[in-house]
Structure 1
Amino acid sequence: MAIYACDPQQARGRRVPEEESAFRSCFQRDRDRIIHSSAFRRLKHKTQVFVEHEGDFYRTRLTHTIEVAQVARTMCGALGLNTDLTEAVALAHDLGHTPFGHTGEDALAALMAPYGGFDHNAQALRIVTSLERHYAQFDGLNLTWDTLEGIAKHNGPVLPLTPGAVLPAALADYNALHDLELHTHASAEAQVAALSDDIAYNNHDLQDGLRAGLFTEDEIAELALIGPAYAQVDRLYVGLDPYRRRHEALRRVFGYMVSDVIDTSAARLAAAAPDGPDAIRTLGHPVIAFSDGMRGKIREIRQFLFTRMYRAPSVMEVRQKVTQAVDELFPLYMADPLLLPQRWQADIAACAGQAALARIVADYIAGMTDRYALQAHARLTGTDVLHDRH
C-alpha cells in the first residue's frame, strides 16, 4: 500500500477495547460486522428510485450498495489504498436510509425538524454506534474510529456549518462522546467510497430509467459522456441486438468515470505528496476527484436524470403516495408509543420529553423496509395508499 493509505496496524482503535482477531485485520472485521448487521439485510427491500412493488429488476439499496463497494475496491486497489476500509465505508454508507429512498428521508426530515432533524448519513452512524444491539459488551457494532470517520464525513468535512445549517442530532450526540474530527476531510479510502457512490448511481439510474421507459437510448446518446460510448459500440459490433448494445455502451460509460477518477486522483496525490493518512485529512481539499471535464459531463447526466427520471410524473405520483404513508405513521406512533414493538418499549420508558420520543419514533420508521412501512400504514389507518383503497 501507499504511504498515505490507512494501515490497519495504525488504526485509531475502537471506543470499547477488544481483543484483535487472529485471522482478520480490524478493517476486515468492521466490514464483516456491517455485512452481518440487521440494517444491512433490510437494504434488500428499500427503494433506490423505484418502490419495491414496481419490479424485481430495478436496483434496491442493497444492490446499489454492493455496486458501490465493488467500484470502491477497484479504485482503491489502483491507487494503492486500503481496499478493506473503503469497502467497509461503502457497505455502510446507506444504512441510514429510510423506506422509499430520498422521498422517505425528505418526509422524515420535515417531521423531525422540531426535534433535531434527520439525515441519512447521521442515521447510518447512529445505527452502527447504537441501534444495532447484538453484542454483549456494547451497543452498535463498535467499529474502528477510521470506519466511523468515513461514514460520518465521506462527503467532506461536516464542520464548520454553512449559514443556517444545523449539525444533525444523531451526529452531534455521538461526536460528543467520540471525537470524529468533523472539521477535517476523511481518509482517501472514504473519499473513494463517496465518488464510487456517484459513479454507481449515475450508471445504474440510466439503466433503470431505460428499463422503465422514462427515456430512450437515442435521448441519452445526446449526452456528452454517453454518445461516444454508443458510437464506439456501433463501430465495433454492427447490428448488435438492442439489449447487448445498451449494456456494452453503458459499461463503457461506467469505465470512463472510473478511469477518470483513478487518473485524476493519482495526479492529485502525487502533487500533494502526503506522508500519511493524517496529511490527507488536513490537506484542506479532497485528493480523490473527477477531472473538471468529467465533472461537467456528470453534471449534465444528473440534470437529465433529475428532469426525466426523479421528477417524472409516474415517479412523482408514487412519491406523493409514500410521503403520505410516512406523514401519517409518525404522528400515530408519537400519540401512542405502545404501537411500537415490545423491544422498543424500554427505550421509550427511559426517554425524557417529546424530542427523545421523536428520535425513537424516527429510528423505528427509518429502519422499516418499503413493504413493512406500507403494511404498517395500512394496518393502522385502514388505507392502501398505493392503490387508493380503504
Structure 2
Amino acid sequence: MIEVGGSMGLAAYASHPERSRGRRFPEPEAPTRTAFQRDRDRIIHSTAFRRLVYKTQVFLNHEGDLFRTRLTHSLEVAQLGRSIARSLRLNEDLVEAIALAHDLGHTPFGHAGQDALHTCMKALTPVGTTVDAGSDGGWGFEHNLQSLRVVDKLEERYPAFDGLNLTFETREGILKHCSRANAQRLHAQDASGVAQRFLQGGSPSLEAQLCNLADEIAYNAHDIDDGVRSGLLTLEQLDEVPLFEQYHRQALSAHPQLGGRRLLFESIRLMLSDQVYDVIDTTRERIEVSGVDSVDAVRARGPLVAFSVDMGARSQVLKGFLLRNLYRHPQVMETTDRARRVVTELFAFYMQQPTELPDAHARSEHLARAVADYIAGMTDRFAIREHERLSGASLFP
C-alpha cells in the first residue's frame, strides 16, 4: 500500500480529498490515488471525453485543422485552472477533473446544437403544466445538466453501476448552471445535494468557482486566436477593445519589429498572464476578508473567485465584442443555421422512427430524453452523416 498525501500543502478552505462527501455508490479507496485524481482518470478514459475532439467550439471541425474543439478548449481550461489553483493552494486535481468534464454533455455544433435541442425538448411540454423528472420533455436541455447526466448515468464502463461514480465535489463543479425547475427535479431524484445550492443559495467549492472563471478566460483568449486565423477578425478591429489593445501595445513596445501571428500570440499571452494574476490577487484578498476556513464555510457564502472590478468590466467588453463580431458574424451564422436544422430534423426523425435509434436508446421508457441523449452524444461529423443518411439532404458538402 502506497500512502497518498492528497492534502499536502492545501489551504484550510480548499477541498481535501480525504474529507470528500463521497460517491453515490461506495467503493474502496484507491491505494495510489486520491479520490479526485481517480475522478480525473475516469473522465479521461470515458467515451464522452474522446468525442470532444470532434465537437465544435466556434468553427466546425472540418473547417480547419487548427481551430479549437471542445477537447482542446477543455485542456486549456484545465491548464489555466491548475495554474491559478496552485497559487491559491486549492486542489489542483479537483480543478482538473471539473475542467475536463465540464463540457462532456455539450451537443454537436456548439451552442447552435444546444439551442436547437432545447427548443425541441421544450416544445413537448404544454404551457403551464408541471412535468415530472422522468417524463418526455419538461427539462428542456441544459448542457451542464447533460454533462452531469453523462457522468452519472450515460457512461457504461462498470459492472456495478451506471456512469463514472464520481465524487460529490467533482459532480458539484460540473453542474455549473441549472435552472430552478431542473434543480427541483434533480434534487427530488438525487438526495446527495448536488443541486441544493440552486434552491437554497450559497456557492460551490472554490475549485468549482475557479473552473467557471478559467472557462471564461480560456474561451475569450482562444476565440480571438481562432477569429483572426479564420479571417473573420482583424487586429485593427481588436484594437477597438481596450483589454486587447493594451497588451497589443505592450507587445509592440517590447518588440517593435514583431508582426503576424507572433504579435498576436504575444498579445494574447500578455492578456492571459495579467488576467491570471488579477484573479489570484483578487481572490486571495476576498478569501482573507471573508475569513473562510473550510469548504463548508465557502459553500455558505457568495462567490469568492473573481476578477477585480476593472478587469471584470474590461472582460465583459471583450465578450460583447466577440458576440457581435465573431459569434454573430454572417459566415458563422450561416453555418450555425444549418447546424440547427440538422439537430432539429434528427430529433423529429427519431421521434417518429425510434427503431432507427441504437437498441439501448430505443428501449428507453422516455423516448424524447433518449433521443436527446443520443443526439447530444454525437460528434459534428457523425451528426452530419446521420442527417444525410436519414434525410438525403447534404447540408455540409
- Asked if Structure 1 and Structure 2 have the same fold, meaning a TM-score greater than 0.5 normalized by the shorter chain, the answer is yes
Query: Is the 2:361–2:371 Cα contact (8 Å) retained in structure 1?
Result: no
Q: Which residue of 2 aligns with 1:373?
A: 383
Which residues in structure 2 correspond to 1:167-186 (within 5 Å)? 167=182, 171-172=186-187, 174=189, 176-180=190-194, 181-182=196-197, 183=200, 184-186=202-204
2:72 pairs with 1:54: no
Which residues in structure 2 correspond to 1:198-277 (within 5 Å)? 198-277=216-295
Query: Is the 2:121–2:368 Cα contact (8 Å) retained in structure 1?
Result: yes
Q: Which residue of 2 aligns with 1:317?
A: 334
Determine the C-alpha separation between the residues in 1 that align with 2:105 and 2:184. 14
Determine helix, strand or coil for the equivalent of 2:243.
coil
Determine the C-alpha separation between the residues in 1 that align with 2:262 and 2:20. 45
2:59 pairs with 1:36: no
Change in CA separation of 1:173 and 1:112 when aligned onto 2, cut-off 3 Å: farther
Q: Which amino acid aligns with 1:243?
A: R
Determine the C-alpha separation between the residues in 2 that align with 1:172 and 1:5. 25
Determine the C-alpha separation between the residues in 2 that align with 1:135 and 1:8. 22
Give ranges in structure 1 of 5+ residues lacking alignment.
Answer: none
Identity across the alignment (%): 47
Determine helix, strand or coil for the equivalent of 1:226.
helix
2:377 pairs with 1:362: no
TM-score by length of 1: 0.92
2:171 pairs with 1:148: yes
Q: Which residue of 2 aligns with 1:298?
A: 315
Over aligned residue pairs, what C-alpha RMSD do you find? 1.4
2:73 pairs with 1:64: yes
CA offset at residue 78 of structure 1?
A: 0.6
Q: Which residue of 1 aligns with 2:5?
A: none
Which residues in structure 2 correspond to 1:14-33 (within 5 Å)? 14-33=23-42
Determine helix, strand or coil for the equivalent of 1:268.
helix
Query: Is the 2:40–2:96 Cα contact (8 Å) retained in structure 1?
Result: yes
Determine the C-alpha separation between the residues in 1 that align with 2:188 and 2:71. 27
2:18 pairs with 1:9: yes
CA offset at residue 11 of structure 1?
A: 0.5
Determine helix, strand or coil for the equivalent of 2:67.
coil
Change in CA separation of 1:316 and 1:195 when aligned onto 2, cut-off 3 Å: same
CA offset at residue 262 of structure 1?
A: 0.7
Determine the C-alpha separation between the residues in 2 that align with 1:358 and 1:94. 21
Determine the C-alpha separation between the residues in 2 that align with 1:302 and 1:341. 40
Determine helix, strand or coil for the equivalent of 1:167.
helix
Query: Is the 1:334–1:358 Cα contact (8 Å) retained in structure 2?
Result: yes
Change in CA separation of 1:171 and 1:65 when aligned onto 2, cut-off 3 Å: farther
Q: Which amino acid aligns with 2:330?
A: P
Q: Which amino acid aligns with 2:159?
A: A
Determine the C-alpha separation between the residues in 2 that align with 1:381 and 1:169. 38
Change in CA separation of 1:150 and 1:92 when aligned onto 2, cut-off 3 Å: same
Query: Is the 2:55–2:69 Cα contact (8 Å) retained in structure 1?
Result: yes
Determine the C-alpha separation between the residues in 2 that align with 1:276 and 1:227. 40
Determine the C-alpha separation between the residues in 2 that align with 1:296 and 1:75. 20
Q: Which amino acid aligns with 1:178?
A: S
Determine the C-alpha separation between the residues in 2 that align with 1:268 and 1:234. 34
Determine the C-alpha separation between the residues in 1 that align with 2:110 and 2:183. 18
Give ranges in structure 2 of 5+ residues lacking alignment.
Answer: 1-9, 126-136
Determine the C-alpha separation between the residues in 2 that align with 1:18 and 1:79. 30
Query: Is the 1:126–1:171 Cα contact (8 Å) retained in structure 2?
Result: no
Determine helix, strand or coil for the equivalent of 1:198.
helix
TM-score by length of 2: 0.91
Determine the C-alpha separation between the residues in 2 that align with 1:252 and 1:41. 31
- Number of residue-to-residue matches in the alignment: 370
Determine the C-alpha separation between the residues in 2 that align with 1:344 and 1:277. 39
Q: Which amino acid aligns with 2:98?
A: V
Q: Which amino acid aligns with 1:29?
A: R
Change in CA separation of 1:85 and 1:145 when aligned onto 2, cut-off 3 Å: same
